[in-house]
């Protein structure tokens, strides 16, 4: 048996070495990347909205509520902040790095 240079044997046959093959992004990948980006933007805005509403609710009702009732607004604010922070970091990370398929995010 001879050895095939620059090729790898995989299940299903012989495929060229992935480092040599240039992968062209398809329209589907571009569309899915765009949808993913907009979903991250929506998650970021939803987190900011929850954070804002929790802050307003806490400030408006802090004198009229018991301790455990004001704790609900505090927990909602923390959760909204975590969602906004995570989505914001993912959005910024999508501009600076490359995707898992080796293509730039732009």
Q: pLDDT per residue over 18-52, tens digit each?
A: 555 556 667 888 888 889 999 999 999 999 999 99
Q: Is the dihedral of CA 41, 42, 46, 52 positive or negative?
A: positive
Q: What is the pLDDT of residues 61-80, one digit of tens each?
A: 766 667 767 788 889 999 99
Strands (E), the chain: 7-10, 13-16
State the Cα–Cα distance between residues 78 and 42, nearest whole angstrom: 18
Report how far apart, in Å, the C-alpha atoms of 79 and of each of 41, 53, 71 are. Answer: 17, 12, 12
Average pLDDT over residues 85-95: 92
The DSSP call for residue 98 is: B
Q: Which of 8, 26, 24 is nearest to 102 (CA)?
A: 24
Q: Which of 55, 90, 85, 98 is nearest to 73 (CA)?
A: 55
Residue 49's CB is within 10 A of a number of other CB atoms, namely 13
């Amino acid at each position: 048996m001879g050895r095939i240079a620059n090729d790898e044997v995989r299940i299903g046959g012989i495929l060229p070495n992935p480092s040599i093959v240039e992968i062209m992004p398809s329209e589907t990948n571009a569309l899915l990347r765009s949808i993913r980006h907009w979903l991250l933007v929506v998650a970021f805005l939803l987190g900011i909205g929850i954070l804002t509403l929790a802050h307003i609710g806490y400030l408006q009702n802090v004198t009229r509520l018991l301790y455990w009732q004001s704790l609900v607004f505090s927990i909602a604010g923390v959760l909204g902040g975590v969602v906004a922070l995570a989505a914001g970091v993912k959005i910024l990370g999508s501009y600076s790095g490359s995707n898992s398929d080796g293509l730039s995010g732009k």
